[in-house]
Structure 1
């Protein structure tokens, strides 16, 4: 997959990096990424991927823009209230970078449609706001053999992890959250800048993965504490009894 003269100019600051170069930029152009959730995490991930030149971005979100979203979701403006987030986000991508194909899927991802929605992608980035969705996405990724990058932010705490085969995301959180009854930022609150920090880190990890920078990060969870401004990384062990990847 070649780069046009316009693309060479657009991505010049990438291409001059020895870790990226023309080969890495062509890998980004060829990549297909599904982003689950166009909220706080997605508002940082989607522009970063589009700006970087990821060739195809599928945005899955069934929600509409509300005024309470705007302190942490800069993809949207006051005039977007009531509009479907996935559609507004896809239009943002089109206006930012016409070399990127953005598809809006205004649907809730569930066990019936998950595999169809994420199949044929090279990476899935999950920034959804409930464990039921996250575990559904994880299980589909395990079954399809697609790497999953999970990112979350609530109050002052953030976490980002890449999972591929074993361990999977379910090894990390277990089976206790297979319901909609879990805390999210609507109940607990979240600092607006935290979602940008965590989402930006998730986008960086995604780009590194797609280009091949930094070695294998699968199974490492990166934790951020926003009030003390500290990052730490921990390894997630595979759960031999995991009902998603235990037999993988």
Structure 2
């Protein structure tokens, strides 16, 4: 585990002051690798906070280029970024915030073996994508390779957050996470969903900041080993009335991904 030098101790001092965090938690972040799928509305705040907090290696994957219409909510980019690849624009911003982190920019719509390899190399995955096909592919890869997943979504004034962690765990004080549900337990792969896009229905600008920041928070807690992570709970946020609703969710035995007849195997 890397030791923090004087500059790092000063940079991360407000984390280190937290009793639950301390130097040990910050060193765990420095030794960690986060994969973020999507460098848009949700990915922007998530990436910036992961970099600022000192996650040692951050890989971001997104095939798109910055468009003027993105700037209303995608705060990792600015007017000068229009036309650039989102991963390059976001990576430059992350390096400017914290040159101590290693940033890998992947300008691809990752899938198949490429997605598997990226997930396998990470300690935590943040799904900041905007479509069900990608969410299901990322979920399947995370279950197959036993990697915790922080999934977010936002459209109009409505946000959603879910932490998926199906790893086996031997600690008797905290029961096995293999009993936790995956994304497909809540949104089955074979169900018909209406895809909705910001370009069609719009999205409230701060909403993606709220959800993306919470994705970063849950990822940092997982990596540092602090706090109570919101596994087994679907969090729904209504920005119109500033209201949260929480739904307990259970693993489905018949889930096509993580159930006893699931196909997501290593």
For the aligned pair, the TM-score class normalised by the smaller chain equals over 0.9
Q: Report the counterpart of residue 85 of structure 2 in structure 1.
A: 84
Indicate the SS of the match to 1:6: helix
Q: Report the counterpart of residue 127 of structure 1 in structure 2.
A: 128
Q: Report the counterpart of residue 116 of structure 1 in structure 2.
A: 117
Q: Report the counterpart of residue 169 of structure 1 in structure 2.
A: 183
Distance in structure 2 (CA, Å) of the matches to 1:5 and 1:216: 30
Q: After superposition, what is the alpha-carbon deviation per residue over 1:135-157, rounded to whole angstroms, capped at 9, x for unaligned?
A: 00000111001011001111001
After TM superposition, give the deviation of residue 164 of structure 1 in Å: 1.3
Q: After superposition, what is the alpha-carbon deviation per residue over 1:116-172, rounded to whole angstroms, capped at 9, x for unaligned?
A: 122121100001000000000000111001011001111001011110123101111
Q: Give 5+ residue unaligned stretches, structure 1.
A: none
Indicate the SS of the match to 2:121: coil
After TM superposition, give the deviation of residue 216 of structure 1 in Å: 4.3
Q: Report the counterpart of residue 237 of structure 1 in structure 2.
A: 250
Indicate the SS of the match to 1:238: coil
Distance in structure 2 (CA, Å) of the matches to 1:140 and 1:197: 26
For the Cα contact (< 8 Å) 2:163–2:229, is it kept in 1? no
Distance in structure 1 (CA, Å) of the matches to 2:104 and 2:190: 33
Distance in structure 2 (CA, Å) of the matches to 1:80 and 1:160: 28
Alpha carbons of structure 1 residues 79 and 104: separation in structure 2 relative to 1, 3 Å? same
**Structural mapping, 1:79-228, within 5 Å:** 79-165=80-166, 166-176=180-190, 182-228=195-241
Distance in structure 1 (CA, Å) of the matches to 2:229 and 2:102: 28
Distance in structure 1 (CA, Å) of the matches to 2:203 and 2:94: 25
Equivalent pairs counted in the alignment come to 247
Q: Give 5+ residue unaligned stretches, structure 2.
A: 167-179
Judge which range, 59-68 or 233-242, deviates more. Answer: 233-242
Indicate the SS of the match to 1:129: coil
TM-score, structure 1 as length reference:
0.95
For the Cα contact (< 8 Å) 2:41–2:208, is it kept in 1? yes
RMSD over aligned CA atoms reads 1.5
Q: Report the counterpart of residue 175 of structure 2 in structure 1.
A: none
After TM superposition, give the deviation of residue 33 of structure 1 in Å: 0.3
Judge which range, 231-240 or 102-111, deviates more. Answer: 231-240
Indicate the SS of the match to 2:58: strand
Distance in structure 2 (CA, Å) of the matches to 1:112 and 1:215: 32
Q: After superposition, what is the alpha-carbon deviation per residue over 1:182-209, rounded to whole angstroms, capped at 9, x for unaligned?
A: 1122222100111011111111111122
**Structural mapping, 1:60-75, within 5 Å:** 60-75=61-76
After TM superposition, give the deviation of residue 36 of structure 1 in Å: 0.2
